[in-house]
Amino acid sequence: MTALPDEPRTWGRLSPDLQASWRRSAGYLANPAAATAPIDLGENDLAAYLEEHPLRLVLPVFRRLLIEPAADAGLITAIGDAQGRLLWVDGARPTLRRAEGSAFQPGANWSEDAIGTSAPGLALATRRGAQVHQEEHFASSAHHFSCSAAPIHDPHTGNLLGMVDLTGGPEAVATHSLPLICAAISAAEAELKVLPARSSNPQLTVLGTAAPPLISAGRRVRLTLRQAELLMLLAWEAYTGGPETGLNAGELAAQLYGETGHEVTLRAEILRLRRVLDSTPIEGLQVLSRPYRLTPAPEVDAVRCARALTAGDRSAALDLYGGHVLPPSEAPGVLRIRHQLSVLLRESVLSDGSGQELWRYLQLPETAGDEDAVYTALRTLPADSPQRAALVARMQR
């Protein structure tokens, strides 16, 4: 027997996440047998909204990595916003036509409070990957399909941008479906990370990038590795010691070169950095002297990641952490920060992380040989989690 929306005694057949979703859905939908997803955005409103939504910038990534491969398997891909409204739906034409009959179309709202349990709604509600088989949908109108979905975040801020979904037949909830979605999301977030941020505050991206950009008001400044190292070291000092603290020439030279005695070379590098900042539209960012410090301190993804970990927000930290701090750098101060942040993230995730957080952590290149992390994830993930099979296969390579 399957679980029935109007018979709570049958809900025990569902997984804990689905049971919780059905309980929430019961408070949203008075008649799940007759419910259909509402159309929140008409054609004109949707077109205007799409022009402004940041996910439009990574549509080519999703088309290459998800939409086209999924279409070959008879599936459709949906990309929606943080409110659950579908923005783009594309893929196999026969499945698209069938999905429109269930209002699975651009402009429709597939959040939990609009249509009850579905993979898009569950992914947004839990901020984790989700899979929902046909009759596990709360609304009867969705019983013709199965779906997998996962959330996508703004890598600059950690804010939820929306979700990405695969819908169709049994292939939509196959073991590899959710990892495929997560891989495409990781690629899209990496692409968003090197695009101009929307904040007017100067922002420096140093995690997982060999070409660190400094961005302000949508404008990008190209930095040399040495200039990025200087900004990173001074920003980290402001984070650990307070905004009014700084480093004298000897201290900064030691962190940059590994020893004192390079103060003259350091001053030349500082002069070049100041010229770059003065000749570009970075609003008001200055390198002050005696001691060296930044005003205003730019927003640095590594600092935001460290703050999130200190606050216990591993999910936000994983959203921000795209890899090692300034991977090409060999500056001793940067190496120290790189190690500190990597260890802090690992210890936080392995000691208190959820199964989904462990899975996300294991997608990082630096975890390639981390057997302890894999075993911890296998102990933590639910027995029916589709990620378990992928981790077992990884251990057998």
Task: Give the CATH number, domain containing residue 185.
Answer: 3.30.450.40
72 with 206: CB under 8 angstroms? Answer: no
What is the pTM assigned to this prediction? 0.55
Residues 186 and 242 in one domain: no
Residue pLDDT, tens place only, 60-70: 999 999 999 99
Q: Which of 9-23, 84-98, 186-200, 260-274 has the lowest mean pLDDT?
A: 186-200
Domain end position, chosen among 283, 300, 317: 300
Residues 69 and 140 in one domain: yes
Domain end position, chosen among 300, 322, 347: 300
Domain end position, chosen among 265, 300, 335: 300
pLDDT average, residue stretch 200-212: 82
CB-based contacts of 299, cutoff 8 Å, min separation 6 = 156, 199, 201, 202, 203, 204
Tell me whether residue 348 is in a domain.
yes
pLDDT at position 217 over 80: no
Amino acid symbol at 10: T
**CA 234/CA 246 separation, integer angstroms:** 7
Tell me whether residue 207 is in a domain.
no
Tell me whether residue 208 is in a domain.
no
Query: What pLDDT is stored for residue 115 in this prediction?
Result: 93
Q: Which of 116-125, 159-168, 201-210, 341-350 has the lowest mean pLDDT?
A: 201-210
Residue pLDDT, tens place only, 27-47: 888 898 888 999 998 888 888
Residues 56 and 165 in one domain: yes
What share of the chain has pLDDT > 90, as a percent? 44
Tell me whether residue 258 is in a domain.
yes
Tell me whether residue 65 is in a domain.
yes
Tell me whether residue 202 is in a domain.
no
Owning domain of residue 19: 8-193
Residue 202: asked if its preceding bond is cis (omega within 30°), the reply is no
DSSP state letter for 104: -
Query: What pLDDT is stored for residue 243 in this prediction?
Result: 62
Q: Which of 62-71, 169-178, 189-198, 295-304 has the lowest mean pLDDT?
A: 189-198
Residues 13 and 130 in one domain: yes
Give me the number of domains the chain comprises.
3
